[in-house]
Structure 1
Amino acid sequence: MRTMTSYRGGKFFNKVLLTGTSLALLGTALPALAQNDAPPADEPEEILEIVVTAQKREQSLQDVPIVVTTLSAKLLQDAGVRDIKDMQVLTPGLTVTSTQNESLTTARIRGVGTVGDNPGMESSVGVVIDGVYRPRNGVGFGDLGELERIEVLKGPQGTLFGKNTSAGVINIISKKPSSVFGAEAEATVGNYDARGFSAAVTGPIAGEEVLGRLYVAKRERGGYYDVVTGDGPRTTTEDATQDFQTVRGQLLFVPNDDLSIRVIGDWSSREERCCVTVQTRTGPTGALINAITTGGQGIDLTASPEDMTAYANRDTRQFIDDKGVSIEANLKLDFLDSTLTSVTGIRNWKNVNGQDIDYTGADILYRRDNGDFSAEFKTFSQELRLAGSTDKLNWLIGAFYAEEDLDRMDSYVYGTKYAAYISALLSQQIPGTTPSNVLPLLTGRAAGTNFVAGQGALDHYTQSAKSFALFTNNSYQVTEALELTLGLRYTAETKEMTGVYTNSDSGATCGAAIARSGLGGGTPTGIWALIPTASRPTVLGGLCAFWANPAFNNRQVADEQEEKEWSGTFKGAYRWNDNIMTYASYARGYKGGGFNLDRALTGLTPNSSLYFPAETVDSYELGVKTSLFDKKVLFNLTAFDQTFNDFQLNTFLGTAFVVESIPELTSKGWDADIYWATPIRGLSFQGGIAYADTKYAEFVAADLNNPGSFAQLSLLPGAQMSFAPKWTSSGSVTYTRNVAGLRWLANLSAKHTSSYNTGSDLIPFKMQESFTLLNGRIGIGSEDSRWMVEIWGQNLTDESYKQVVINAPLQGTGFQSTVQPDGTFYNRGLDSNTYDAFMGAPKTYGITLRVKY
């Protein structure tokens, strides 16, 4: 065991940190240990402290006036956590979803997160890995390697974590190099042809002054979607595959007792297929799609999402390359007994994807995987902190600078059946026409020259962001019982954006239709004169989706915005005795504005501005933290009340994304966490319950930046937000014991989520009913953990659940709204849409062999 001196209530005392198994399971931040330092089987196991760094210094979890769920390395390993999506099973109030590709991963805390797949939008929940902020949640998605712990901070974090975040932070801390040589490896095989290998080595390189750690991993898995390829040319009949490799190396320089420098370099590469959808409801267009598809295999007419059968004729290959270097230096100074910390991060992340946009076997609309659908982030960040303490004051001042360059390509390519499909749709609406003649009649162009296969839209966006901030965070011990904390941050940001839009066919089909329809000015000609006036906009809409609109051809836009904002926090904590602490806090959070890096239309006219303003939040919390039964039980409870202003919403409506700032969003509820070292030696429990009532305030069209968007968002006012279950609960029980010369392990982890809507437009067909995920692991090995064999399973009950439900592109009409005399909209429920879902992973299982030295 080890001791450390801490200050609490104005008095110094020693905390004994036992390195027993239950302590590691419950999230204690322990130093790196040699692999042969496992505690003897008869050592008593206790809980005395869980150490976190939520305020950029080591503190007991029970002394920090912040809601923090802490996940230790051992618990993460036993629960099978590899990335931020896996960890949600251990964290109540956390939801993580993916859509078009794995890089579009979104984390939400207390029901609040960045809605939509637009890379121009910053993340409401920040991801920080070893002190370096990642620009979007998806950029931090991947194998996290060897971990010390993960801290999930709930509520706005506007002071200490690089970029401001409005909903919370996932703070990931990896293992440092050890001064004692150690090596370990693992090999895994599982269903869906899963196989993986990882290895790590650590130890001294040049005595105690230079230490190193190296981690490598390679993992593969087949897909759990069965794909019907229809028209082709796709030949791969599975999707949601996995194939990636990771290398992470570290050097820790400790030339003397006052200076340490940690250098981390990492590289990851993924080449996988993701993501297709399944139908959850098939509308009237399903029969038409099957009629134009080879073999009639275009779509599932009887939606059965549990079968995990998808339809996609185009490839969904994704290529993700992520690499970077970080340098953290800590220098102890004589000045006020302080420490100067510098954290530098340089990163490059790129994703290239292919996509079957219509999610059917018919060759209608797609994106190539040749780079025409891609995003690349290049980031540089530099943070300086000076921190120190006196008998009563813990103080910190700092500065942060970041540069972020985003380069995005977007494309929409007509497939060989696009013209036939649009023709069939329109001929059903216009009497006297057939699929073979309706397009020539509407455009005046010869048959075969409308929507030519291989033509389409290609857009290029760039966004450059520079952020500078000054911040301070200080805690003052007013009395032995009362501590006050003040955090303040001033941020100045500048963002510049350019967009260049092109149509390889100049949008000729839509342009010709506009000229003949009279809707662009003039008199309708030809068949347009026979179409009722009220129906002409609907017919033209079928011909002029935004990717076909000639108004975008050779269009160039540029914009620059500057923001200056204050954020911060004020907290008061009162310790009634060694076992009970209560606190109250206020926090002001901020998330920067940005640009809609997508085609945006009002009617047939491109929007003049793509900018959306910053999002802010005011958060109030009341909490109690308790240590019970000789610190065998830690129980923490917090009530919160958060109000978001100008909440950034990016919702998919079947053909286009709509970005809007919702005037107000509120989230009220409570969080409870428990850590328990049971009287049974080796048996421990960690869990929690979260309740969040997260609702949009009432608003009308005039409250939006673009009032024309209200029709599609008319279900939002006063409603529970999407992806915001009111109740979530999680629990993980672990038992480890040495018996009969062997070490035995058992872990069972579960997460229950109440029902919620998975669509940002809140259409009822997008509801996900309540569900429970259950993971388990049992293992046997040597007493000193030199080897271990583990059998594991994820989603053991094979729960079928929807991550996100979307309007199937070009496949029906969503809910219809009628304008009322007071200017509001009434939903008439006329819904003919097909709905598709990105599903959660089914049951997976396997066996893992671990060896250590």
Structure 2
Amino acid sequence: MRTLWKPVMGLLCTVSMTSMAQAQDAQDSDAPEREVIIVTATLRAADVQDIPIAVTAVSPEQLDRQNVQDIKSLTSISPSFNVQSSQTESQGTSIRIRGVGTTGNNTGLESSVGVFIDGVYQSRPGIALGDLLDLERLEILRGPQGTLFGRNTSAGALNLTTKRPNLTKVEAFGNFTYGNYDFFNVQAGVSVPLVNDQLGLRVSGAYRKRDGFLNSVGVPGAESSNRDRYVIRGQLLWEPSSDISIRLIGDYAKATENCCDAVIVRETELQPFFAFHGLPNDGVAVFGQSALNNLQTNSQQFLNNTEQYGFSGELKWDLGPAQMTYIGSYRHFEAESAQESDFVSLNLFSTGRGSTAAAGFPRTGGPIKTMTHELRFQGSAFNDALDFLVGAYYSDEKIDEVQSMTLGTDYQRAVSAGNFGNLAGVNPLFALTALGNGGVPVNAAGNFAVNRFRQDAESFSIFTHNVFNITDNLSLTLGARYVDEKKQGSFDQLAANSPACQAIVNGVITGAVPAALRGGALGATCFPHLCGAYCPRYRRHRAGQHHPGPPAAARVQPGLQG
């Protein structure tokens, strides 16, 4: 067991000043009126030009005009905002603002770009990739925002606000879109006042489907980048008096999609050596500009399924000197993926229930359960000379993920060609494993590993964001934040079979494997299975059961490994 504890403190100081020319223009009655854009990026309703931070505010009408269906498409509106997916959207997505972000291939890492939906933090980018449905506002905040939100947002934040139920009249909306690749998208919703001026209900939903636009020539029928997802959201708003507002939200979403294959733009110079090792080719039939123009790939089928549901409650209470806001939430997110990460048609290796896996092989994925609580007090003092905000935040997150990998029938010959060429003879891995196995070659085909990673994380923070209005045209913003975060992680290899790795290790220990070939041999046979043949015998547990660890060269630190 390993516990990580790290207190963090932050300080923000910003000076906002309106120039004399701007002030004069504002006083000039002949000056044309500009459109006022009200945002809540600082948790206060304000004109976007009066906020001393870089904010991009996007209206629902802009999203419709640009055909932005989810946050991955926001680059068309804000070029500094970028979302990238590597091999899987649910577990390998990275969000970046101004090029700054966190790698997406390690489930144990939170994103440095925070995503907030109705004030609720989405703990992983894959959770936030659903459709943008029934929005009232979308705001992109660039730069650190830790003094405004309970979670650390060192690169920026994406703040999404959905429309609230209407308490006075019935509202309804609907839209339908059809496009190429049999693209089909429908959204609809209705808001109904249950008790006039006091209680209202709003229900909205969306369904989106599209054929994949990447098609594999190596495996006919395998496609990628399709869409097949739906989401439904229900809200209940109760305002028993002018001082109290209670908002309850529940949602459910599911996606069954194939992502993320890739076009190969450059063929390897080692391609001729594959025939030398008994393979007809290297699995690359199309590449370069032609493959890019025709959107053709070489890999086998990817799989990317997600299912999630969540509940949140918001209480706003005007106490007079200050307004109290409490937001509590719970979210259950579960993903399953199968990845053909070699991107070629050869039967090399796959993670999850891929092409090389035997029947009944465990999936790659698992649940992420997150509970959050946030409490804020904000208001003004000293005749509006001070606009203050003080808050506290707590979250408890539990991750339980299984990652599995299997080596295919072409693996050993392919890595021999790629790593050794013809320098060590035909299929040198057979010869190398024989050196460590009493002269009997060992084939890596069929080797597998099933690893389980767990992480429990607790985070507590207090933060404050204060605006001192010195004059009508000059203000000073001071903010601070303190964080106490603890993580406990564990690793356990549930099952594995890697005699080829054991043979190579034996050969390295005895000196039978030549020194110049040791690195390539170990990497080709042992790396895909993390700690190889040792882990089934030496497991680490979180519940206080400590067994003798594996040798240092094979030891895996607890925590989530991508």
* Normalised TM-score (structure 2): 0.84
Deviation at 1:411, TM superposition (A): 1.5
Find the aligned partners of 1:436 and 1:137 in 2 and give their Cα distance.
Answer: 40
SS class of match (1:262): strand
Q: Residues 297 and 182 (structure 1 numbering): CA distance in 2 closer, same or farther, change over 3 Å?
A: farther
In the alignment, which residue of structure 2 is the partner of 1:218? 207
The answer to whether the Cα contact below 8 Å between 2:349 and 2:408 also exists between their aligned partners in 1 is yes
Aligned partner (choices 447, 466, 471) of residue 474 of structure 1: 466
Partner of 1:331: 317
User: Structure 1 pair 60/536, CA: closer, same or farther in 2 (3 Å)?
Assistant: closer
- Is this contact kept in 2: 1:377–1:404, CA < 8 A? yes
Tell me the residue number matched to 1:272.
257
1:20-74 per-residue CA deviation (whole Å, 9 max, x = no partner) reads xxxxxxxxxxxxxxxxxxxxxxxxx953421111221111112211111111111
SS of equivalent to 2:265: strand
- The residue aligned with 1:262 is 247
Higher strand share: 1
Letter of the structure 2 residue corresponding to residue 318 of structure 1? N
User: Could you tell me which residue of structure 2 aligns to residue 547 of structure 1?
Assistant: 529
Query: 1:240-299: per-residue Cα shift (whole Å, max 9, x none)?
Result: 111011101111111111111111111110001111112121113434558889985821
In the TM superposition, 1:218-367 aligns within 5 A as 218-230=207-219, 236-287=221-272, 298-300=283-285, 302-304=287-289, 305-306=291-292, 307-313=294-300, 315-334=301-320, 336=321, 338-367=322-351
SS of 1:538 mapped into structure 2: helix
Q: 1:65 — aligned with what?
A: 52
Superposition deviation, residue 322 in structure 1: 1.7
Identity over aligned residues, as a percent?
32
Distance change in 2, residues 1:606/1:406 (3 Å): same
2:67 aligns with 80
Aligned to 1:815: none
Partner-residue secondary structure (3-state), 1:537: helix
Deviation at 1:440, TM superposition (A): 5.8
Distance in 2 (alpha carbons) for counterparts of 1:286 and 1:461: 37
1:408 aligns with 2:394: no
2:156 aligned with 1:168:
yes
SS at match of 1:359: coil
The match for 1:758 is none
- Inter-partner Cα distance in structure 1 for 2:144 and 2:542: 28
**What code does the residue aligned with 2:175 have?**
E
Residues 563-598 of structure 1: per-residue CA shift (max 9 Å, x gap): xxxxxxxxxxxxxxxxxxxxxxxxxxxxxxxxxxxx
Contact 1:328 1:342 in 2 (8 A): yes
Query: Structure 1 unaligned runs (5+)?
Result: 1-7, 10-44, 561-600, 612-655, 658-853
Q: Hey, what does 1:105 align to over in structure 2? A: 93
Per the alignment, in what secondary structure is the counterpart of residue 49 of structure 2? helix
1:479-558 correspondence to structure 2 within 5 Å: 479-505=471-497, 507-515=498-506, 517=507, 519-520=508-509, 522-524=510-512, 528=513, 531=514, 533-547=515-529, 549-557=532-540
Question: CA offset at residue 397 of structure 1?
Answer: 1.7
Residues in 2 aligned to 1:292 and 1:429: alpha-carbon distance in whole angstroms: 8
CA separation of 1:463 and 1:395: change in aligned 2, threshold 3 A: same
How far did residue 323 of structure 1 move? 1.1
Say whether the 8 Å CA contact 2:58–2:138 is kept in structure 1. Answer: yes
* Cα shift readout 1:781-802 (whole Å, capped 9, x = no counterpart): xxxxxxxxxxxxxxxxxxxxxx
> Counterpart of 2:13?
none
Task: Name the count of aligned residue pairs.
Answer: 513
| Distance change >3 Å, CA 509–CA 183, structure 1 → 2 | same
Cα 1:143–1:483 change in 2 (3 A) is same
In structure 2, what is the Cα distance between the partners aligned to 1:299 and 1:550? Answer: 32
Give per-residue Cα distances to partners, 1:126-149, cap 9 Å, x unaligned.
101100011122211110201111
Query: Which has the larger displacement, 165-174 or 422-431?
Result: 422-431
Corresponding residue of 2:364: 373
Q: CA deviation at 1:488?
A: 1.6
Structure 1 residue 552, shift from structure 2 partner: 3.7
Preserved contact between residue 503 and residue 554 of structure 1 (Cα < 8 Å): no
- After TM superposition, the runs of 4+ consecutive aligned structure 1 residues lying more than 6 A away are 290-295, 445-448
- Cα distance in 2 between the residues matched to 1:264 and 1:426: 54
TM superposition shift of 1:610: 5.9
Deviation per residue, 1:407-460 (Å, 9 max, x gap) = 12111111122234345557744555557963663443787852242x311111
Equivalent residue letter for 1:56: L
- Distance, in Å, in 2 between the alignment partners of 1:110 and 1:317 is 30
Is residue 2:102 matched to residue 1:153?
Answer: no
Unaligned runs of at least 5 residues, structure 2: 1-16, 19-31, 354-360, 544-549
The one-letter amino acid paired with 2:99 is G
Q: Which letter maps to 2:110?
A: E
Task: Mark the CA change 1:447 to 1:361 in structure 2 (over 3 Å): closer, same or farther.
Answer: farther
* Alpha-carbon distance in structure 2 between the residues aligned to 1:80 and 1:254: 35
- Residues 353 and 293 of structure 1: is their aligned pair in 2 closer, same or farther, counting only changes over 3 Å? farther
CA gap 1:499/1:350 in 2 versus in 1, 3 angstroms? same
> Following TM superposition, by how much is the alpha carbon of 1:406 offset from its aligned partner in structure 2, in angstroms?
1.2
Match of 1:363, SS?
coil
TM-score in terms of structure 1 length: 0.56
Find the counterpart in structure 1 of residue 22 from structure 2: none
Given residue 416 of structure 1, which amino acid in structure 2 is its aligned partner? T
Displacement of 1:509 in angstroms is 1.1
What displacement does 1:538 show? 3.1
**1:158 counterpart SS class:** coil
Paired residue secondary structure (2:88): coil
**How many Å apart are 1:215 and its aligned residue?**
0.8
